[in-house]
Amino acid sequence: MITIDITGRTPIYEQICKSVCGEIARGVYKENDRIPAARALAKELGLNPNTVAKAYSILERDGIIYSVAGKGCFVAKHEGKADKRLTEDFERKTKEALSAGVPKQTLIDIVESAAAEAEKGGNEQ
């Protein structure tokens, strides 16, 4: 399930990109699988079709999906790009925290406790 947060600084199209990459990384969509039509997804999420179209065009530009006119969008042979996209924000924030002087161990502790909480919270997926 894709959930969109209209509050906050992350643009909606970016959230869509992340969600699709997440589903690709988790194997929901495999290479050459068709992903949901932009218009259908827009309707489902109550978004402007242009917003979803923008997300898809970014994913295409990044080599994660490819589009076939009149057919739809499909997962490309992306060689891990989808996975990398999921962690690039995390990596940037890691570097920022480290350069601000936060000790490595503090960060690892945060990861551990977040993971423990996530495990406890829900066993879906």
CB 58 within 8 A of CB 20: no
- Ranges within 67-106 binding DNA (CB under 7 A): 67-73
- Ranges within 17-76 binding a copy of itself (CB under 8 A): 18-19, 21-22, 25-26, 58, 61, 66-68, 71
Question: Strand order in 72-75's β-sheet?
Answer: 34-35, 72-75, 65-68
Minimum CB separation of residue 19 from DNA in Å reads 13
CB 92 within 8 A of CB 85: no
Q: Is residue 35 within a helix (H) or strand (E), and if so which, with residue range? A: strand 34-35
Residues in touch with a copy of itself (CB under 8 A): 6-7, 9, 18-19, 21-22, 25-26, 58, 61, 66-68, 71, 83, 86-87, 89-91, 93-102, 104, 106-108, 110-112, 114-115, 118, 125
